[in-house]
Amino acid sequence: MLNCRCQHGQCVLCGALVTSGDHGKAQVCEIRGVLNRRRYAAGEVVFREGTPCTQLLVLRTGQLKLTTMPLTGREQILGLLVAGQLVGFETSDATYPYTATALTPVEACCITHKEMLRVLEENPAVALSVIQRFRDELVQAQIMIRNLGIKPAHARVASFILSLIPAGANHEETFPLVLSRLEIAELLGLSEETVSRVFAEMRRNSLIDAPHGEIRLLDMPRIRRIAGIGNGESWHGDLL
């Protein structure tokens, strides 16, 4: 495996699809000939809503914004994807239900649905890993929906901040925060003024540092507590 040409240890697709065992990694090396790495500039559209959905993408670096254009004609933000997450694995005869736009420079590993399905059919271990990855992302989506329905503003903002951290990343790093306060507010079902106030309170209480276009988490345990993650506690009117 040290001589594997696809360098699975450096490939986010391999990392996303294979969770354990050298045998699984060897199987993933078989897709080397059909795996493409693509780069997108900030602001570039990766794919548009309504166009044929033909590829699965796994973000290697950067952030993607998912949006839709409802009948009102005003763009609506559906979600934000960070490194390690998958997008575009709808059925091969479907169209994309949203538009994906690069918020930052993006690098992604891409594979066609046809080749991906072949890999899954021939490699049960890889198929199980894919199912687990989609399960994890479904759980995250359910958490976001729950937060929008029942959690106070501070918990919603804290959950959003935590969602900016790619799986396995060091939370002490600085992460891009490209969405405007208005866009964050629309995503979380809050007013722009509320989002701005919560960010200001978090900075004032030394929870985050948020220079223009970036954010750094200064106190992960407290942010997780405010979001209601881990110990089951949530914010009840005091950030301290």
Q: Which of 2-11, 146-155, 177-186 has the lowest mean pLDDT?
A: 2-11
Q: What pLDDT, in 10s, does the model give residues 165-211? A: 987 788 888 999 999 999 999 989 899 999 999 999 999 999 999 88
Q: Which of 7-21, 47-61, 135-149, 193-207 has the lowest mean pLDDT?
A: 7-21
Please report which confidence band the pLDDT of residue 143 belongs to, taking 50, 70 and 90 as the band edges: low
Return d(Cα 162, Cα 159) in angstroms, integer.
5
Q: What is the pTM of this model?
A: 0.77
> Smallest Cα–Cα separation from 163: which of 229, 99, 209, 116?
229
Q: What pLDDT, in 10s, does the model give residues 39-72? A: 999 999 999 999 988 888 888 899 999 999 877 7
Residue type present at position 118: R
Kindly state the average pLDDT of the residues 156-160.
Answer: 92
Return d(Cα 58, Cα 14) in angstroms, integer.
10
Alpha helices in the chain (DSSP H): 12-17, 22-28, 113-122, 124-150, 153-163, 181-188, 192-204, 220-227
Task: State yes or no: pLDDT of 232 exceeds 60.
Answer: no
pLDDT of residue 7: 52
Question: Roughly what angle, to the nearest 10 degrees, separates helices 181-188 and 153-163?
Answer: 110
Phi, psi (deg, nearest 5) at residue 43: 90, -10
DSSP-derived secondary structure for 6-55: T-GGG-HHHHHH--S-HHHHHHHGGGGGG-EEEEE-TT-EEE-TTSB--E
Return d(Cα 86, Cα 37) in angstroms, integer.
14
Q: What pLDDT, in 10s, does the model give residues 81-124? A: 998 888 887 655 688 889 999 999 999 988 888 887 777 777 77
Return d(Cα 46, Cα 186) in angstroms, integer.
22
Domains of the chain by range and CATH? Answer: 8-126 (2.60.120.10), 151-227 (1.10.10.10)
Alpha-carbon separation of residue 20 from 26, 39, 85, 111, 137 (angstroms): 11, 28, 18, 21, 19
